[in-house]
């Protein structure tokens, strides 16, 4: 009899030790911990009981009985914890459940190792011979019955939980619940035999039946994937991944997450809780783009900004819909990768590509791109505009007179012609903005109470003379100072840029004419305060075009350019509206 029990317990010890090692190697998910602890507790229990049977004195048997109680009080506790974690019933009132599950076992552990002082667990000890084996007979104290009833309640509760899950036959659990239901029934049988004193005399029936549950649990783990999608995904990518990973189930609740995700969400004041945290709770946080995409139930990727300490970090998020065929459930995996260095490098490149290095304003290309992005200006190839020959002839005549009167003006005129050609490479007669018919709503232009769009073209007066007389370094200082002043006095503008050597542009998508003129006046006054011991007073001429947002930007640009030229031709250091000079010519 002893030899048979020895072989059985030896095999059981090896099996439970193997199960512990296998469970640890298979996955490091939180859901593995209760089953791993259960297997190790059974291993201590079986090994200690096997050695106790071979001892001949009370002292040595008591020593190995103490060894058993490293695992005995916690077997039923971890059995129930396995059921609660696996069936997602640990989420509500978690701490109360922990107190119920582990309160009595911890007290049992303490009282067993201090039993010599109070005899609450065992009242006395003795040796009994039965079947040729020397057993340690123990008088049962009051706490023994408390612990036994508590253990039985936990095993029965686990059994009930698996029965309920088995009846629901949820896809999340698959057939593995059938195995766990059978294992719970086996453990419950051994516990009932012990409490009722049935079966073989003096033999601990629990230690006989518990090893039988290990193969059943391993079948659930190996064949039916006991921890469903969480373990499978975690084994592949979770723990060893530098990215933050969060797994959501069909109900859009957090199923699992790795340590990097826990750390990342905590930096934003968010505590991830398995089974509790819902995606809707993230809608009012920096993770809102993630929440919106997941609620729409489609795969998506993007960049989110997360404030951290005194800097902003950038994370690229990706939502991956997990395969229903393999996992038998609808799930989404969220990955968050730190791309701060990449985003900052791209922002630096974008800034360098769109910014004029001297003035600190947008360059020509970026200026027109930003104006187009405002959405107020739309291309309209059907506008029927006829040329205004009288105005053109007058401007050309004044231009020719300046060329004869001012040395070096020929170069400036050539620059202006080249600039105009770049602005309007495809304008034909039908797109000429100088027409008096069709293109402009004259009544609306005269009404200052309406909010309209304005494009301002600014040109530094006699800038060529500054460069020729004081050097290009002095000219650069003027450009830099004007850039600062523009950003100071036109900070509310939608777009500000430097579009040529000494030419600047400002676009307002929504401002009335009186407010605009106030800003223009303060700007021109500020130019007089550019501090320099050698430079003359700096002034600028400004041409202003306005629209209701129904004409292409090229036309508006040419109108502002014409108004600017008119301001330069009529004395400089002034701001001129295009519709004003157009109305004046039409009245001639």
- Find where tokens 């430079």 sit: 535
* CATH number (domain holding residue 338): 3.30.450.20
Same domain, 380 and 479: yes
Same domain, 332 and 481: no
Q: What is the pLDDT of residues 179-197, one digit of tens each?
A: 777 888 888 888 778 777 6
- Residue finishing a domain among 174, 201, 226: 226
Cα–Cα separations (whole angstroms), residue 200 to 72, 196, 203, 325? 20, 12, 6, 49
* CATH number (domain holding residue 84): 1.20.1070.10
Q: What is the pLDDT of residues 197-252, one digit of tens each?
A: 666 666 778 888 888 887 887 777 666 555 444 555 555 566 667 888 888 887 78
d(CA 588, CA 584): 7
Same domain, 189 and 93: yes
User: Angle between the 72-86 and 32-54 helix axes, to the nearest 10 degrees?
Assistant: 160
526 belongs to a structural domain? yes
End-to-end CA distance of the chain: 128
d(CA 69, CA 67): 5
Which of 168, 173, 210, 169 lies closest to 189 in space, CA to CA? 210
Task: Residue count of the chain, please give it.
Answer: 588
Same domain, 363 and 221: no
Same domain, 331 and 361: no
Q: Please give the average per-residue pLDDT across 103-132, as a whole number.
A: 89
Q: Which residues pair with 135 in a beta bridge?
A: 128
Query: Residue 368: pLDDT band by 50, 70, 90 thresholds?
Result: confident
Kindly report the pTM of this predicted structure: 0.43
47-78: buried (b, 16+ CB within 10 Å) or exposed (e) per residue? bbbbbbbebeeeeebbebbebbbbbbbbbbbb
Task: Say if CB 127 and CB 137 are below 8 A apart.
Answer: yes
d(CA 37, CA 31): 11
Q: What is the pLDDT of residue 37?
A: 85
350 belongs to a structural domain? no
- Percent of the chain residues past pLDDT 90, beyond the cut: 10
Q: What is the pLDDT of residue 363?
A: 87
Same domain, 209 and 251: no
69 belongs to a structural domain? yes
Q: Return the sign of the alpha-carbon dihedral for residues 126, 131, 133, 138.
A: negative
566 belongs to a structural domain? yes
Same domain, 221 and 248: no
**Torsion (CA) 289, 292, 296, 298 in degrees, nearest 10:** 20
pLDDT surpasses 50 at 341: yes
Give the DSSP H/E element, type plus range, for residue 306.
Answer: strand 300-308
Q: Give me the domain span that covers residue 527.
A: 355-586
Same domain, 330 and 369: no
Strand 452-460 with 540-547, pairing = antiparallel
Same domain, 368 and 287: no
User: Phi then psi for 545, rounded to 5 degrees?
Assistant: -120, 150
Q: Return the sign of the alpha-carbon dihedral for residues 249, 254, 255, 260.
A: positive
137 belongs to a structural domain? yes
- Residue finishing a domain among 179, 194, 226: 226
Same domain, 336 and 451: no
pLDDT surpasses 90 at 7: no
- Residue finishing a domain among 196, 226, 256: 226
Written as six digits, the tokens of 522 are: 């303060």
Domain count, the chain: 3
């Amino acid at each position: 009899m002893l030899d048979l029990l020895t072989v059985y317990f030896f095999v059981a010890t090896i099996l439970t030790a193997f199960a512990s090692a296998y469970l640890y190697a298979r996955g490091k998910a939180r859901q593995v911990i209760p089953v791993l602890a259960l297997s190790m507790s059974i291993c201590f229990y079986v090994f200690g009981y096997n050695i106790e049977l071979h001892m001949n004195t009370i002292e040595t048997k008591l020593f190995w009985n103490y060894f058993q109680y490293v695992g005995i009080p916690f077997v039923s506790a971890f059995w129930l914890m396995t059921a609660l974690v696996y069936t997602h019933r640990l989420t509500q009132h978690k701490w109360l459940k922990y107190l119920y599950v582990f309160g009595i076992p911890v007290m049992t552990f303490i009282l067993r190792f201090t039993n010599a002082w109070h005899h609450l667990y065992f009242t006395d000890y003795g040796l009994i011979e039965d079947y040729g084996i020397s057993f340690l007979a123990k008088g049962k104290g009051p706490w023994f019955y408390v612990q036994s009833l508590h253990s039985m309640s936990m095993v029965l509760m686990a059994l009930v939980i698996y029965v309920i899950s088995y009846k629901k036959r949820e896809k999340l659990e698959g057939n593995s619940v059938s195995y766990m239901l059978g294992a719970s029934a086996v453990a419950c049988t051994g516990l009932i035999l012990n409490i009722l004193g049935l079966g073989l005399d003096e033999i601990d029936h629990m230690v006989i039946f518990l090893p039988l549950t290990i193969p059943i649990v391993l079948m659930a783990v190996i064949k039916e994937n006991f921890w469903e999608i969480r373990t499978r995904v975690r084994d592949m990518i979770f723990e060893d991944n530098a990215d933050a990973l969060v797994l959501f189930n069909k109900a859009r609740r957090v199923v699992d997450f790795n340590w990097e995700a826990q750390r990342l969400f905590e930096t934003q004041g968010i505590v991830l809780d398995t089974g509790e945290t819902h995606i809707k709770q993230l809608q009012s946080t920096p993770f809102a783009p993630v929440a919106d995409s997941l609620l729409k139930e489609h795969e998506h990727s993007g960049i989110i900004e997360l404030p951290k300490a005194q800097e902003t970090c950038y994370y690229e998020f990706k939502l991956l819909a997990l395969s229903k065929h393999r996992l038998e459930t609808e799930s989404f995996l969220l990955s968050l990768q730190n791309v701060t260095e990449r985003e900052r490098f791209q922002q630096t490149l974008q800034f360098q590509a769109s910014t004029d290095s001297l003035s600190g304003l947008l360059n020509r290309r970026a200026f027109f791109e930003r104006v187009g992005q405002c959405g107020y200006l739309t291309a309209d190839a059907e506008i029927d505009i006829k040329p205004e020959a009288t105005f053109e002839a007058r401007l050309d005549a004044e231009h020719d007179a300046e060329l004869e009167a001012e040395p070096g003006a020929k170069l400036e005129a050539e620059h202006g012609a080249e600039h105009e050609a770049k602005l309007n490479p495809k304008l034909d007669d039908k797109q000429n903005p100088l027409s008096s018919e069709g293109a402009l709503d004259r009544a609306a232009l005269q009404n200052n109470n309406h909010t309209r769009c304005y494009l301002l073209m600014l040109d530094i007066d006699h800038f060529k003379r500054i460069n020729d007389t004081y050097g290009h370094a002095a000219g650069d200082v003027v450009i830099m100072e004007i850039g600062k002043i523009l950003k100071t006095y036109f900070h509310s503008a939608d777009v500000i840029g430097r579009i040529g050597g000494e030419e600047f542009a400002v676009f307002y998508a929504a401002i009335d004419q009186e407010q605009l003129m106030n800003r223009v006046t303060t700007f021109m006054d500020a130019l007089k305060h550019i501090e320099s011991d050698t430079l003359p007073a700096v002034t600028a001429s400004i041409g202003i075009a306005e629209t209701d947002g129904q004409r292409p930007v090229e036309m508006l640009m040419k109108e502002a350019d014409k108004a600017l030229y008119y301001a330069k031709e009529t004395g400089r250091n002034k701001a001129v509206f295009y519709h004003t000079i157009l109305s004046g010519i039409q009245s001639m």
